[in-house]
Structure 1
Amino acid sequence: MTVRLAYEDGTLRVTHDGDGPPTDGVASLPHVERDDRTDAGRAPAMAYAALAAYLDYREIPYEDDVLRADDLAVSSAYDLRDYQQDALDAWLAGDRVDGGAAGPERERWRVSGSEAAAGSQRQRRWGVLELPTGSGKTVIGLKAIEAVGRSALVVVPTIDLLTQWKRELGREFDREVGQLGGGEQVVRPVTVATYDSAYLRADDLGDRFGLVVFDEVHHLGGEGFRDVARMFAAPARMGLTATFERPDNAHEVVAELVGGVAYRLSADDLAGDHLADYDVKRVEVPLTAEERDRYEDAQGTFTDYLRQSSVQLRSGSDYQELVKRSGTDPRAREALLAKQRARRIVRESDAKVDRLEEILDRHRRDRVIVFTASTDLVYRLSERFLLPAVTHETAASERREVLERFRRGDYSRVVTANVLDEGVDVPDANVAVVFAGSGSEREFTQRLGRVLRPKADGGRALLYELVSADTAEERVADRRR
């Protein structure tokens, strides 16, 4: 019996040429289920390399018509730093930092980079590289494309990143690069796509690439985006991120789709040699008497409801349950509104504004990025200190102009909310001020990363955290650290 593998609408169609129904004998293969509608076996496209490895291992003859990926002879002029080469080597070898096997844990068999024939189009290379902002993850991605030597797709979360990757790939590989997103739908052997566009085209393009690079791979944990990985047959897949773990534990799903963490370094690991040395200075700012009264009143309303209702907030899901309850319970709704008032008071206190003024005056010769937690606060600080503002409402052309002027030195400071945390090529700065933020470790790491690129003068980077003293914001600051 010879098994036949073919790609079909984001899945693998698995049949055989032996006696009996086409599903007999193939439904028992790993990942394959009986599909009576089409009288064939069916498996997710992402299982392609694993299934082929199993057939090889069992010496089961098969015909492989899955991939239409082109051979790709490209080279980059970049010379990798030692840690970048180590990261690439770990990914090529299929290593994981916890010692486990790359890819789905349930697989007892696999073909690693050292075991497979060099250059095989089915060579299975999975894994995530977790490296801080400014460490050159894009360069490693370029070298991975060069090493695999098959047509490659890079998937990114934003149009800004799409533009950056396309420009870099075109310059390094001296070729036209395809683009899916931002008003274009052009597929070439090297293509860049947004997560949205890759999702919409996955069933059509899932057999066209031997390698998929997922930039900011933590986005793949989103419910819809998971299908991008499931519906592509690419046997090589690399995830790039500065912060792999997600508060909702969806990184465990990402590990099943792309592989676990193959290599990990923190900002502390690279500070001084490859990134700027840095200091984090926490500045506790007292509330005014009037702010304190309003805060205690609002916070008390919230905590009284929790106590009287025996509600404990141990996780994000507990808070979501409270939000659901507020739809039918007026007291729960009142408590949530009170919590929002308390949060706004500590995030936007007058004393913080005064302290920011002192910091901006102290660093008038430095390049400063001020991070806030809301668009309204961005505009308030922009008007108060005449700072160029970048928010999700800022048009793409205006944002590019602001950042270009910041890069040239026409502007020495800028204020933003979350829009510059990731997915945007932010010019070098050496001072960051977290005026207000969440308890997310990812958000903090991304904001710190914006000031970590090496300085021409060898100077240190500095991040200020403004925290309202004796409030719940202190616990928020502790959580993100």
Structure 2
Amino acid sequence: MFVDHPLIRRGRIEDRDYQRNIADSCLKRSTLVVLPTGMGKTVIAARVIAHILGSRGGTVLFLAPTKPLVEQHAAFLRDVLVVDADRIAVFTGEVTSPEERELLWRTSKIVASTPQVIRNDVKQGRIDLEGVSLVVFDEAHRAVGNYAYVDVAAAYKENPAGLALGMTASPGSRAETIVEVCGNLGIEGVEIRTEFDPDVVNYVHDIEVEPVLVEPTGAAREIREVLTKVLDEQIERLRTCGFLQGVPRPTTKDLLRAGQGIRGRLDAGERTGALYTAATAQAIAMKVNHAVELAETQGMESLISYLDRTEAEADSRADRQFLNRPEVAKARVLAAGANAEHPKVKKVLWVVREQFLKKPDSRVILFTHYRDTSELMVRELAALPGIKAVRFVGQATRGNDVGLTQREQVEIIERFKAGDHNVLVCTAVGEEGLDIPATDLVVFYEPIPSEIRTIQRRGRTGRGRAGRVVMLVTRDTRDVAYFYSSKKKERKMHVELDRLRRELRQKIFVGQPVGEVFAEVRPAERLERMREAARPQEPSAPAKEPRKPGQAKLPDY
């Protein structure tokens, strides 16, 4: 069953209960929609936009934080809405000049833009928001501090008849933060859904998450042992200078926190030898820590590339001291002499090949944290028959590694959808908002400690059909800690979302899912019960023969 609306093209949008319920709520008041990745936040926005244009008219402003997202939203709206394509305009600093934007603003029904462009144009008096009937803020959790969303929303508040729609999959766990976002955007209500809610459960496809353990190489173990001596020395220097006191085994987070403390004191005007010594020691510790992480979880090619870049760009005392250490020189020799790449490389190739043998028309996304690894994996995947891998990174250029332009990013996504590429090798740029339907497999080259980024990555599959997630974990390394940290945070987040509903009701309007309320205990069991209740009842089968105790049959496996 599809949405029937004069401004929505027939057969384009499936009529889902939770999307209809949320869209109806958004039409009554300015609303923040909190919905997991892949559950159709943009579809809800399209339904709201169609109703607003049909009933109120005016201009709709659709804001997104990145240029590729702006392009994707505009393309989606042109595809699903009965609105002339030339009246859906895209505003970015690269694509349109100020004069063009001023003209397009007067003639367009929908404007998709980055918030910085709108903020600047409003300040310069090229446009005003008086005739805007709806502003959509994608990735609305960014609306804090000095981010451009805050300024645009402040100008829009002068339009009392205008509605605002915020969308996010990553609201954070504190009610105060969400209330701050709502206050900054002029939002009066919140709609929160999880995959366990009664109006959502029938539309959630199973996602199988499969951790795959690999053993660290002998070279990686040896490099860790060599570099740990340098790391311990820098930690001791920091303690001598008054930092990391009472922290027996400092983590990366502890080192980062020490760095923030050092920079804060320097920014406040403190100038002492001990503070400068601490700053150098902290910087060296971070470099050593990063080198160990690359050796253990990424591979020797990534480590060598990192050391080469550091040497080419060395412009600080910390860089020079780090590179002059004999232990770092030994680590480079060990990495160069390693017989094989990280075992994760072969495991990725095996998992991807297995997927395409089972389903030749598959779409696969491989997430890597580092660009060096993404380049290595595209090269390795190219050797597999039938695999058409492409690298998808951000726009920033780092040394000889040239980033992708906005147009190149959009073109790669379109070619991936069309099947010209069937494996997308992404860095973090692929986590937010990519419009990639029906991805069959997502591979994590490494776990990441953030539950929000994990959910965003995992949400790239299980959209149109059941999906699979494979997460590679190197035994006895920080991979293991990150894997369990993310799982723990995610379990907590599901409970926190329900708590947020209760707490937010004391501060702001919160919509309630239709049906049974969220249960904090055993959500997976509850999800299966709800699915079972929703399935059509089959005729009762004849009674089965009783089974002897301990007797197993094939279905049990």
Residue 238 (str. 1) matches residue 165 (str. 2):
yes
Q: Which residue of 2 aligns with 1:212?
A: 135
Question: Equivalent of 2:346, from 342, 354, 358?
Answer: 354
Question: Equivalent of 1:278, from 207, 226, 229?
Answer: 207
Q: Distance in 2 between matches of 1:340 and 1:252?
A: 37
Measured at CA, do residues 127 and 271 of structure 1 come closer, stay the same or move farther in structure 2, by a change above 3 Å? closer
Q: In structure 2, the residue corresponding to 1:282 is in which secondary structure?
A: strand
Q: 1:453 deviation in Å?
A: 1.2
Q: Which residue of 2 aligns with 1:126?
A: 30
Measured at CA, do residues 357 and 169 of structure 1 come closer, stay the same or move farther in structure 2, by a change above 3 Å? closer
Q: How does 1:216-365 map to 2 (within 5 A)?
A: 216-221=139-144, 223-225=146-148, 226-233=150-157, 234=159, 235-245=162-172, 251=178, 253-258=180-185, 259=187, 262-267=190-195, 269=197, 273-299=202-228, 301-302=230-231, 305-306=234-235, 308=239, 309-311=243-245, 312=247, 319-322=256-259, 325=262, 328=276, 329=278, 330-349=280-299, 350-364=342-356, 365=360
Q: Distance in 1 between matches of 2:120 and 2:216?
A: 49
* More deviation, 392-401/372-381: 392-401
* More deviation, 388-397/464-473: 388-397
CA deviations over 1:100-145 (Å, ceiling 9, x no partner): xxxxxxxxxxxxx4xxxxxxxxxxx232111122322122112223
Residue 137 (str. 1) matches residue 143 (str. 2):
no
Q: 8 Å contact 2:367–2:445 — kept in the other structure? A: yes
Q: How does 1:375-386 map to 2 (within 5 A)?
A: 375-386=371-382
Question: Equivalent of 1:179, from 67, 74, 90?
Answer: 90
Q: In structure 2, the residue corresponding to 1:132 is in which secondary structure?
A: coil
Q: Distance in 1 between matches of 2:68 and 2:419?
A: 21
Q: Distance in 2 between matches of 1:275 and 1:383?
A: 35
Give the AA of the match of 2:376: R
Measured at CA, do residues 168 and 310 of structure 1 come closer, stay the same or move farther in structure 2, by a change above 3 Å? closer
Q: Distance in 2 between matches of 1:252 and 1:340?
A: 37
Q: How much is the aligned-residue C-alpha RMSD, in angstroms?
A: 3.2
Residue 430 (str. 1) matches residue 341 (str. 2):
no
Q: 1:238 deviation in Å?
A: 1.0
Residue 190 (str. 1) matches residue 186 (str. 2):
no
Q: In structure 2, the residue corresponding to 1:229 is in which secondary structure?
A: helix
Q: Distance in 2 between matches of 1:199 and 1:297?
A: 52
Q: Which residue of 2 aligns with 1:158?
A: 66
Measured at CA, do residues 168 and 74 of structure 1 come closer, stay the same or move farther in structure 2, by a change above 3 Å? farther
Q: Which residue of 2 aligns with 1:374?
A: 370
Q: Distance in 1 between matches of 2:134 and 2:439?
A: 34
CA deviations over 1:257-316 (Å, ceiling 9, x no partner): 233772222345588732321111112222112202322444565466557443557996
In the alignment of these two chains, the number of paired residues is 374
Q: Distance in 2 between matches of 1:238 and 1:341?
A: 44
Residue 449 (str. 1) matches residue 459 (str. 2):
yes
Q: 1:474 deviation in Å?
A: 1.7
Give the AA of the match of 2:37: T
Measured at CA, do residues 261 and 340 of structure 1 come closer, stay the same or move farther in structure 2, by a change above 3 Å? farther
Identity across matched positions, percent: 22
Q: In structure 1, the residue corresponding to 2:446 is in which secondary structure?
A: coil
Give the AA of the match of 1:273: N
Q: In structure 1, the residue corresponding to 2:432 is in which secondary structure?
A: coil
Q: Distance in 1 between matches of 2:194 and 2:260?
A: 35
Q: 1:218 deviation in Å?
A: 2.1
Q: 1:464 deviation in Å?
A: 0.9
Give the AA of the match of 1:406: F
Q: Distance in 2 between matches of 1:246 and 1:208?
A: 35
Q: Distance in 2 between matches of 1:290 and 1:252?
A: 50
Q: Distance in 2 between matches of 1:260 and 1:375?
A: 41
Q: In structure 1, the residue corresponding to 2:203 is in which secondary structure?
A: coil
Q: Which residue of 2 aligns with 1:391?
A: 393
Q: Distance in 2 between matches of 1:428 and 1:285?
A: 28
Structure with greater strand share of residues: 1
Q: Which residue of 2 aligns with 1:472?
A: 478
Q: 8 Å contact 1:160–1:425 — kept in the other structure? A: no
Q: 8 Å contact 1:211–1:237 — kept in the other structure? A: yes
Q: Scaled by the length of structure 1, what TM-score is found?
A: 0.69
Q: 1:431 deviation in Å?
A: 0.4
> Any gaps of 5 or more consecutive residues in structure 1?
1-72, 93-112, 114-124
Measured at CA, do residues 351 and 318 of structure 1 come closer, stay the same or move farther in structure 2, by a change above 3 Å? closer
Q: Distance in 1 between matches of 2:143 and 2:254?
A: 20
Measured at CA, do residues 346 and 199 of structure 1 come closer, stay the same or move farther in structure 2, by a change above 3 Å? farther
Measured at CA, do residues 195 and 320 of structure 1 come closer, stay the same or move farther in structure 2, by a change above 3 Å? farther
Give the AA of the match of 2:19: Q
* More deviation, 420-429/442-451: 420-429
Q: Scaled by the length of structure 2, what TM-score is found?
A: 0.60
Q: In structure 1, the residue corresponding to 2:348 is in which secondary structure?
A: helix
Q: 8 Å contact 1:435–1:465 — kept in the other structure? A: yes
Q: 1:395 deviation in Å?
A: 3.7
Q: In structure 1, the residue corresponding to 2:219 is in which secondary structure?
A: helix
Measured at CA, do residues 406 and 310 of structure 1 come closer, stay the same or move farther in structure 2, by a change above 3 Å? closer
Q: 1:250 deviation in Å?
A: 5.6
Q: 1:437 deviation in Å?
A: 5.0
Q: Distance in 2 between matches of 1:415 and 1:79?
A: 30
Q: In structure 1, the residue corresponding to 2:464 is in which secondary structure?
A: coil
Q: 1:246 deviation in Å?
A: 7.8
Give the AA of the match of 1:183: V
Q: Which residue of 1 aligns with 2:502?
A: none
Q: In structure 2, the residue corresponding to 1:179 is in which secondary structure?
A: strand
